[in-house]
Amino acid sequence: MTFIPTSQITPLQPSIKTPMRRPSLPPWFKVQLRPGPHYKELRQLVETHRLHTICEEARCPNLWECWNNRTATFLILGDICTRRCHYCSVSTGRPLELDTEEPQRVADAVKLLKLRHAVITSVNRDDLPDGGATLFAETIERIREVNPTCTVEVLIPDFQGQQEDLARVIDKNPEILNHNIETVPRLFPSIRPQGKYARSLQVLQWAQKMGARTKSGLMAGLGETEEEIRTVMKDLRTVGCEMLTLGQYLRPTLEHTPVARFYTPEEFEGLKQEALALGFQHVESGPLVRSSYHAEHQASRTIEP
């Protein structure tokens, strides 16, 4: 997750006079923007506690629905990423000093929201010796202290393939450990230039062997073929991944990778059935699906009481 703040972007100068416009979205992308009372409450809480959410930073199309349902994915380790993936709208650059009080503020927010399932993710922090693993662990600890019945899902970076850093997080026993593969191996060099397909698979395999319940996510519409998607799903099952999210890539700004094509709801349903046939315990698949979409529902169906 990365990207240049809009304030630092030099606008592209088209060679023709016609203004650059985004392509029209298919009709199934209609989203109702209804800022209800829970939305307003959550926004105020985020601002008061000086928190970040991936919902806002990644311009998630489900923000209104999730916030109205008192659900949010907290973004720790600041809001500036050290990587520059070509699909993500999160700001990229030199991160600020680590905020060691952030875990407690996140935990306080979880308590105030009375969450049954909390999702914690982060920017990539390749500038830190442990990639931010210690702060992930502390955040899980603080949440458990203030809300012992709340289950915790962490959506982690690859920690540059450092197994000991991954172990720091898993030692705190998050109910779900998510690491998104994001795209097919052929597209990694152009879409995730600082990531490695094999490394992401290795992280998920290590996590599974350490006893974690693992989950991953894949975007469609970046230029991959359906057969390549099927290959990634098989690779994920090979390393023991149990849960999968499949969603449509949407171009955040004109500076990002263009959408190659839009998959129909029927195509997403077909891929879901194929994924279930491969042995995934739970699959969320659809145009608007994102990593944390219906996360509490996924957790309730896959976490043993």
Residue 244 confidence (pLDDT): 96
Whole-angstrom distance, CA of residue 24 vs CA of residue 280:
33
- Residue entry with tokens 């996924």: 298
Q: What is the 3-state secondary structure (H, E, C) of 57-116?
A: HCCCCCHHHHHHCCCCEEEECCCEECCCCCCCCCEECCCCCCCCCHHHHHHHHHHHHCCC
SS3 166: helix
Total-model pTM: 0.81
Nearest to 100 by CA among 127, 117, 78: 78
As assigned by CATH, the class of the 36-302 domain is alpha beta
Nearest to 264 by CA among 216, 218, 217, 221: 221
In order along its 305 residues, the chain shows pLDDT tens digits of 333 333 333 333 333 334 445 567 888 776 555 555 555 666 666 666 666 555 554 455 555 555 555 556 788 998 899 999 998 878 889 988 898 999 998 898 888 877 788 889 999 999 999 999 999 999 999 999 998 988 899 999 999 999 999 999 999 999 999 999 999 999 999 999 999 999 999 999 999 999 999 999 999 999 999 999 999 999 999 999 999 999 999 888 888 999 999 999 999 999 999 999 999 999 999 998 887 665 555 555 555 55
Residue 114 confidence (pLDDT): 78
Residue 10 confidence (pLDDT): 36
Residue 48 confidence (pLDDT): 66
The helix (H) or strand (E) run that includes residue 35 is: none
